[in-house]
């Protein structure tokens, strides 16, 4: 069934890149979870359910690519701030190179004219 193959592929693509998008958002400094989730949620077509990003943030922390600190918030419960670890930085650098190559190849094959 064509639509379900397409949906599966899109959701796998999303899942594959989301973690790196989180790392990219942390490149310029730390952010707390709601800021991260909001930034990803606002990106068009990237996230369908914002809530499942929280388990993903937990996995990134367990994988050692991000570090976290809890701080009091001016209102509401404490905030958990995330920042890149040196490991996370090198994972991100590697992905940027791979992604650029991957994107250019796919664009070329799809005929989007990025590579003339």
Partner 1 sequence: MTTDTLHPLAADYLERLRRAGRGLPAGRRRELLVEIEGHLSEAIEPGASDAQALTVLDRLGEPEAIIAAEMPPADVAPERRGVAEWAAIILLPFGGFIFGIGWLAGLVLLWSSRAWTTRDKWIGTLVIPGGLLTAFAALLALGHPTKKLCTGFPGRIPHCTNAPGPSAGADAVGIAVFVVLVLAPIASAIYLARRAGRLRLP
What does the alpha-carbon distance between residue 110 and residue 82 come to, in Å, rounded to a whole number? 37
Residue closer to partner 1 by CB (options 34, 95) is 34
Q: Which of residues 7-66 bind partner 1 (CB under 8 A)?
A: 32-34, 37-38, 41, 48-52, 54-58
The count of chain residues that interact with partner 1, using the rule CB under 8 A, is: 23
Residue closer to partner 1 by CB (options 79, 85) is 79
Helix (H) or strand (E) holding 50: none
Residue 77 makes contact with partner 1 by CB under 8 A? yes
Query: CB 34 → partner 1: shortest distance, Å?
Result: 5
**Burial letters 54-76, b for 16+ CB under 10 A, else e:** eebbeebbeeebbbeeeeeeeee
Query: CB 75 → partner 1: shortest distance, Å?
Result: 7
What does the alpha-carbon distance between residue 20 and residue 18 come to, in Å, rounded to a whole number? 5
What is the signed CA dihedral for 83, 50, 79, 73, rounded to 10 degrees?
A: 130
Binding-site ranges for partner 1 (CB under 8 A): 32-34, 37-38, 41, 48-52, 54-58, 73, 75-80
């Amino acid at each position: 069934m064509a639509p379900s193959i397409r949906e599966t592929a899109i959701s796998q693509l999303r899942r594959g890149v989301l973690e790196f998008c989180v790392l990219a958002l942390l490149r310029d400094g730390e952010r707390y979870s709601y800021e991260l989730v909001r930034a990803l949620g606002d990106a068009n077509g990237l996230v369908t359910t914002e809530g499942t990003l929280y388990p993903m943030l937990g996995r990134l922390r367990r994988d050692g690519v991000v570090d976290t600190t809890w701080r009091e918030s001016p209102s509401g419960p404490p905030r958990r701030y995330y920042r890149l670890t040196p490991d996370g930085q090198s994972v991100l650098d590697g992905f940027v190179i791979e992604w650029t190559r991957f994107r250019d190849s796919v664009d070329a094959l799809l005929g989007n004219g990025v590579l003339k």
